[in-house]
Structure 1
Amino acid sequence: MTKRASKSTLNYYDENAVEFACQTVSIDMHDLYELFISQLPQRDTQSVLDVGCGSGRDANYFAKQGYEVTAIDASAELIQWAQKHHMSSRISWVHLDFSSIKNQAWENKFTGIWACASLLHVPFLELPCIIESLLETLTDDGVMYLSFKHGEGERVDEERFFCDMDELRWKTIVANIPQVIEYDIWLSSDKRVDCKDAWFNVMIKRENNPIRSSVK
């Protein structure tokens, strides 16, 4: 993605922050929450990194479960909206772009990473590096959830850049990640009533086992 395309995507979210947040803050994600939570390691305390937190919907849910949440987004306007509408001492709101994750002192900090519909704005060739930096922030038994729109390429739609994903493209990314990961992939329908997009979901577990994939 060119710097111009990246800037266009960020500008879209900054300029449409209120509308976007209002459209997404009430989407029912409970089935995905339950799946994610069931995969978290057995710990007395859970620490979750919400990557691309948007409206803060998911960060707020995890905070209500008693988890410590670090919620990041590259859009300053969305961070401000989320912080204003979700008052929780368990959430740390951070204005941060994905490329700066590697510069944070977060090594082995999080038991879970939630990247719901966020890394889909990262160019395909940059994804292995971003995912690698995220894996470094996980505890040894931590899990990471990611979702992309299902497809075979990259495109710009309504000023936003999208990197779509399918099984073949995902396997290419995995081949370029140094860490050994175990993962499951599956397709799901869009949670929005007026949208018919299919979603490509990934659940990664950071372990010292050979890579495997199962499609649900």
Structure 2
Amino acid sequence: MKINTINYYEENASTLVERYESADVNNVQNLLLKTFDINSKLLEIGCGSGRDTLFMIKSNYNVIAIDGSKNMIEEAKKIHPELKERLFHKILPNDLEFDNKFDGIYSISTLMHLSKDALRKTLSKVYNLLNQNGKFLMSVSLFRDDIDKDGFDNKGRFFLSLSFEEWIKICEEVGFSIVKTKRNKDGLDRSGIEWLTLVLEK
């Protein structure tokens, strides 16, 4: 993940955690419940405030989670102390290493911060971390009107701009089958931002 992007999350962790906790994520959380079987062993990539990690644990899933920002991890542990032993600092794509495999993996609003090359590497590692027939749910921004021609917003964060077809193609090239695609509006009611959620299977 690009340094400027991580720095933004490091410097604004407490404000961002508050914002993420207030976002309307009912659609995504309902989709998580429909995607993964109860009691599945799950990995969340880019846990932010820990909001979805806690939701899934309370819904009877066994979840551990990672984030590229140390400060976001610390803030998440403050507001959700019950997650203390479940949150880990790892930076994509190189740190995405585990000794065990998972029944499912999900990533909300994270992978679009990667370059195309880093995205490919990350998706390939995700594929290898899944048990056979394991599912991967990812939600990424499909369109943003607040980035420049190089993909940066005014906060210095990078966003990968790919078309719907390009997101599908890169996932299929890694080996995933497409189970479900869904486009939706922004959970923080920002106009000019559209999201794409994909459910993939190994």
TM over 0.5: yes
Secondary structure of the 1:156 match is: coil
How many correspondences in the alignment?
Answer: 197
2:140 aligned with 1:148 = yes
Letter in 2 for 1:32: V
| Distance in 2, Cα, partners of 1:79 & 1:49 | 15
| Alignment equivalent of 1:58, drawn from 52, 60, 72 | 52
Match of 1:76 in 2: 70
Q: CA RMSD in A?
A: 2.2
1 or 2 for the larger relative contact order (CA 8 Å, sep ≥6)?
A: 2
Give the 3 Å change call, closer, same or farther, for CA 154–132 of structure 1 in structure 2: farther
* Deviation for aligned residue 1:118: 0.5
Deviations 1:24-81 (A, max 9, x none): 112121222222221224x6x2222110101111111111112221110010000000
Check the 8 A contact 1:123/1:154 in 2, yes or no. no
| Distance in 2, Cα, partners of 1:64 & 1:140 | 25
Match of 1:162 in 2: 159
| Distance in 1, Cα, partners of 2:96 & 2:30 | 28
Deviations 1:130-174 (A, max 9, x none): 111012112223211111111398501111011133222113313
TM-score, normalising length: structure 1: 0.82
Structure 1, unmatched stretches of 5+, are 207-216
Letter in 1 for 2:120: P
1:128-143 equivalences in 2 (<5 Å): 128-143=120-135
2:201 aligned with 1:205 = yes
Match of 1:23 in 2: 19
Give the 3 Å change call, closer, same or farther, for CA 195–60 of structure 1 in structure 2: farther
Match of 2:170 in 1: 173
Match of 1:214 in 2: none
Give the 3 Å change call, closer, same or farther, for CA 91–64 of structure 1 in structure 2: farther
TM-score, normalising length: structure 2: 0.87
Check the 8 A contact 1:60/1:91 in 2, yes or no. no
